[in-house]
Amino acid sequence: MTGLLPPSRRDFLASTKMTCGALAMFGTFPSIGRGADDPEEATTTGESTVKPEFPAQDREAVREIVIASHGRYERVKELVTARPALAKAAWDWGFGDWETALGAASHTGQGKIARLLIEHGARPDLFTFAMLGELEVVEHCVKAMPGVQRIHGPHGITLLQNARNGSRNERNSDEHRKKAQTVEEFLESLGNADLGAENLKTSDAEKKAYVGRYVFGPGPDDTFEVLQNRRGMLAIRRGEGTSRALHRVEPHAFAPVGAHAVRIRFDMIANRAASLTIHDPIPLVKATRTR
């Protein structure tokens, strides 16, 4: 580890007692590469290289490290070595489905990446401890805050699934996998640590009633596309952005994955969607179907 002394188990648990209630910890928006902090680049070109979001760090780097943390150890190492603050990066995939780099490593069971991020300043939460197999920490948090095991992580992934992925990822050591399995078994014993988001059945014929293009303004990106993704689920995307799968929660209302409080409601005419309205929970935008 780079200049970080591992705490004793007693100190580790004591500090966790004070912080386990803060389960979702998100960092700043860092960047990588030459830019406004490179005087040579700024002066030799005669043009400003300062990005609009500076001093917040650039969005491209934030998105890249969150994606890389799902399984690309060498790329994550390269990024955090250049800019350690990237270890705390968080990205909103849409509608408030926030994911940190460490959250990505946690729900995919990437123990080596998770430890690397922590060494560079990432803030572990309950999902990280579950994936790493820290049974005493998880037990204490559940005891201190009953029901905490039902909270979902990024994309609506459950706490139990984080532990399960830690125990089943063959990239992890045998010791790691064995520890994560003890957390998995503990969470299974609770009976409610793997409750997924509500998702009512939607037939293929019903899905066709919603698929189409919806416009809410004059700009080229002022559109929503409702489509079926590769898994056959209804999804929504703005312009050319990332699509978000939809869970049906009412006859004509859906919640985006990872943002279950949001509602996308369709107004129907003759069994065909004519418009949609997005609520969070107040109405935010209404779009009219054009095709």
Distance CA 79, CA 28 (A): 15
The answer to whether 202 and 280 are in contact (CB under 8 A) is: no
Select the CATH number that applies to the domain covering 204-289 from these four: 2.60.40, 2.40.128, 2.40.160, 1.10.1200.
2.40.128
Domain ranges of the chain: 9-190, 204-289
What does DSSP assign to residue 274?
A: E
Regions of the chain short of the pLDDT cut 50: 1-44
pLDDT recorded at residue 32: 40
Q: How far is CA 131 from the centre of its chain?
A: 15
For residue range 15-28, what is the model confidence (pLDDT) as tens digits?
444 444 433 333 33
pLDDT recorded at residue 25: 34
Instruction: Write down the residue that tokens 């994936």 correspond to.
Output: 131
The answer to whether 236 and 97 are in contact (CB under 8 A) is: no
pLDDT recorded at residue 50: 85
9-190 domain in CATH 1.25.40? yes
Helices 174-190 + 159-168 axis angle, to 10? 150
Task: Kindly state the helix (H) or strand (E) to which residue 140 belongs, with its residue range.
Answer: helix 135-144
For residue range 68-117, what is the model confidence (pLDDT) as tens digits?
999 999 999 999 999 999 999 999 999 999 999 999 999 999 999 999 99
pLDDT recorded at residue 224: 97
The answer to whether 235 and 243 are in contact (CB under 8 A) is: yes
pLDDT recorded at residue 51: 82
Topology agreement, domain 9-190 and domain 204-289: no
In a 13 Å sphere around the CA of 156, the CA atoms on its Cβ side amount to 19
For residue range 235-244, what is the model confidence (pLDDT) as tens digits?
999 988 889 9
